[in-house]
Structure 1
Amino acid sequence: MPVSRRHFVAGALAAPVMVRFATLPAAAKAPMPTTQVAAYQQITVGDAVVTAISDGFLDLDVALLSNVTADEAAEILRNEFRGPSPVKTGVNAYVVNTPERTVLIDAGGAGAFPNLGGLVANLEAGGIAPDAIDAVLMTHLHPDHIGGLVTDGKPTFPNADVHVHKTELEFWTSAANRDGAPEGAKGFFDGAKAAMDAYGDRVKTFEGDGKVLPGIAARELFGHTPGHCGFLVGEGEEGLLIWGDIVHVGPIQFAKPEVGISFDAQPDKAIETRKAILKEASANRTRIAGMHIAFPGVGHVVAAGEGSYAFEPAAWQYDFG
């Protein structure tokens, strides 16, 4: 309801009462908080409600980045009012409630890295029980996205099918690929296979761009991994493209899309994909959400010069009316 002059007058008449309350003795001082509040946030996307869920954060050293010097990275971070390296980088997941389904996109990295594992607690704080999830869509099978799929060797989401791009599944479950990987990367393959094995025949594959579930379409965004995907909820400017790991250190990679990160499986392809989707999202005013953008990770890509972009966080949604 718009605020009118009448509302201000009514408020002014109530002011003396408020002043009297203000003169009452102060209550005992509350203890200082030592933990952050539950991290979930809801937005509407067409007839769906999307809930951003924080799993925690990673400390990323800018030395992991390519095509940018340490001095350049430090200057960008300073200009964006971010601390020096290592950079605290969010790990987000998203729940899409449609009239037909309750769908989780990515599952965080419980057990894979320090400071991760908040997914289930934040789901429950938002009123979403793990057994209410009936589908999990995977952008890709890196540890910080699959760690939360399994708890004590059993599916965290017992009623869910898991949907993953066919190329992604085949890559990470290939014994030959594992055998040919550097020793330090073999655990990535082991973790992916264990997570997929836990869901057995409830693992479903898809290929190409197009509908995966009612109201949700896949978008192939290869490069970070061989079968890396985003998921489009709704359509047009009112839709939401949940784009996975297009960026990891947003302030730097929005400004300089040519900057890669050491765990891109196909570095040149990842850069090509990032440049293309940033250009497209900016031109089309596409609302986006990213797994490694500061929570809740929802907003728009804004052109900021030739081949350079910035991220504009979405305004808080005050009501669902």
Structure 2
Amino acid sequence: MSPLSRRAFASGLPLGLLGGGALGGGFIGSGLAPILGATPGLAATPAAPASVTPLAQIRIGRFTVTALTDGFADMPYTFFPGRTPAEVEQAAVVQHTARPSGVRFLFNQYLVEDGARRILIDAGPAGSIGQTGALPQALGALGLQRDQIDAVIVTHMHQDHMGGLIVGGQKTFPKAELYVDRRDVKHWTDPAKANGAPDYLQTSFRMADQLVRLYPKLQAIDGEREIARGVSIVDLTGHTPGHIGVRIEDGGQSLIMVSDMLFPVVHPAATDVVFLFEQDRPAAQAMRDRFFPLAASEGALIAATHMPFPGLGRIVSDRGQLRWQVADWALQD
């Protein structure tokens, strides 16, 4: 099946809002210690107790999808090749995501439940970037511990998506099956790739080695496949060699979690603007050039890791210009 299958793009039915609603500017992570070193310019800072644990739920057929967050970091305005720092900052001011040190990025995760299995999509940076480490607290607000998660899908092997799986050098989701695209496993565990990579990617390489060691039953998956009935992998390669999305579909409703296909401020309007961490920038742009117009034409309901919490919205065409529209899901029946 094509990664841009039209059946991926049905709208979801809203369920409602839990525990604190939107993430306020005062939210701080739960204070887990940094792991494996921090990215230059994105050093972890001491965390105070969280003032709110944001949770948001939406129903997709038989599934309940809960948006969680591990916290936030401010990405320097220099991290967006294709635009000057001043241009990025100006756009961030307009969108209310500007902070003194950069663009406010959230780290959203999504818990998918159908009464039989609990599947988590990504695990956050867990203190290795910015003010993060709140995912265990967010799960706790649902009455869950990490050993109650049946599976974790890692959309790609950047530190902000897998750090929560290996906090303190420990296997933190002990009973979970782990799914990662084979191309990413190959890339991020290749010593030659690590030796030639810039400093800001070294933490991801170290984490990838640790992840493979701690989760020996990790399933390195090839291409699109169903993880569970109604939960399937979508190929969105470009951001990393094995960057994937996850489609949740049931009862004529669907939601597609697109991970790092979308970044605040620059997307979806400017597909020529990439992000510093992208290894294959032409491939990332080409995927966005294909994906964004189709998502707009189909009214796809999308979940995105770094968009303002809960990261749910749609790409819409407004007088020929693509823009992000926050989903009107929160308080509807």
CA shift, 1:213, in A, is 2.2
Q: Which residue of 1 aligns with 2:81?
A: 66
Q: Give the C-alpha shift of residue 174 in structure 1.
A: 1.5
| 1:186 equivalent in structure 2 | 202
Q: For residue 308 of structure 1, report the CA deviation from its aligned partner.
A: 2.7
TM-score (normalizing by structure 2): 0.80
Contact 2:65 2:112 in 1 (8 A): yes
**What's the TM-score once normalised by structure 1's chain length?**
0.83
The count of aligned residue pairs is: 285
Q: Paired residue for 2:316?
A: 302
Q: Tell me by how many angstroms 1:119 deviates.
A: 0.5
Aligned counterpart, 2:188: 172
For residue 179 of structure 2, what is the aligned residue in structure 1?
Answer: 163
> Which structure: greater helix fraction?
1
Give structure 2 stretches of 5+ with no counterpart: 1-47
Give runs of aligned pairs for residues 102-251 of structure 1, distance below 5 A: 102-201=118-217, 203-234=218-249, 238-248=253-263, 250-251=264-265
Of stretches 64-73 and 284-293 in structure 1, the one that deviates more from structure 2 is 64-73
Task: Tell me if the contact between 1:298 and 1:313 (Cα under 8 Å) persists in the aligned partners.
Answer: yes
**Deviations for 1:182-209, whole angstroms, at most 9, x for unmatched residues?**
35533321111102211112x0021122
SS state at 2:123 partner: coil
1:57 aligns with 2:72: yes
CA-based RMSD: 2.1
1:79 to 1:183, Cα distance in 2 relative to 1, 3 A: closer
CA shift for structure 1 position 164: 0.5
Maintained 8 Å contact 2:230/2:250: no
Structure 1 window deviating more from structure 2 (168-177 vs 133-142): it is 168-177
Give the SS at the match of 1:253: coil
Q: Which residue is equivalent to 2:282?
A: 268
Contact 1:140/1:168, CA 8 A, preserved across alignment: yes
Counterparts in 2 of 1:83 and 1:208: CA distance versus 1, 3 Å: same
Residues 46 and 208 of structure 1, relative CA distance in 2, 3 Å threshold: same
CA deviations 1:122-156 (Å, max 9, x no partner) are 11112222111010001001001111002332211
Q: Which letter maps to 1:76?
A: A
Runs in 1 of length 4+ with deviation above 4 angstroms?
A: none
User: 1:282 and 2:296 equivalent?
Assistant: yes
What's the offset of the Cα at 1:34?
7.9
CA deviations over 1:242-275 (Å, ceiling 9, x no partner): 1111122x23222222211111110011111122
Q: Mind listing any 5+ residue stretches in structure 1 that lack a counterpart? A: 1-32
Any idea what SS the aligned residue of 1:239 has?
A: strand
The farther-off stretch of 115-124 and 171-180 is 171-180
Distance 1:313 1:74 in 2: 25
2:132 maps to a residue whose letter is: L
**Does the 8 A contact of 2:89 with 2:103 survive in 1?**
no
Could you tell me which residue of structure 2 aligns to residue 37 of structure 1? 52
Which of structures 1 and 2 has the larger relative contact order (alpha carbons within 8 angstroms, sep 6+)? 2
Please say which of residues 250-259 and 121-130 is displaced more in the overlay: 250-259
After superposition, the Cα gap between the structure-2 partners of 1:185 and 1:34, relative to the gap in structure 1 and judged at 3 Å, is closer
Identity of aligned residues (%): 31
Given residue 272 of structure 2, which amino acid in structure 1 is its aligned partner? Answer: E
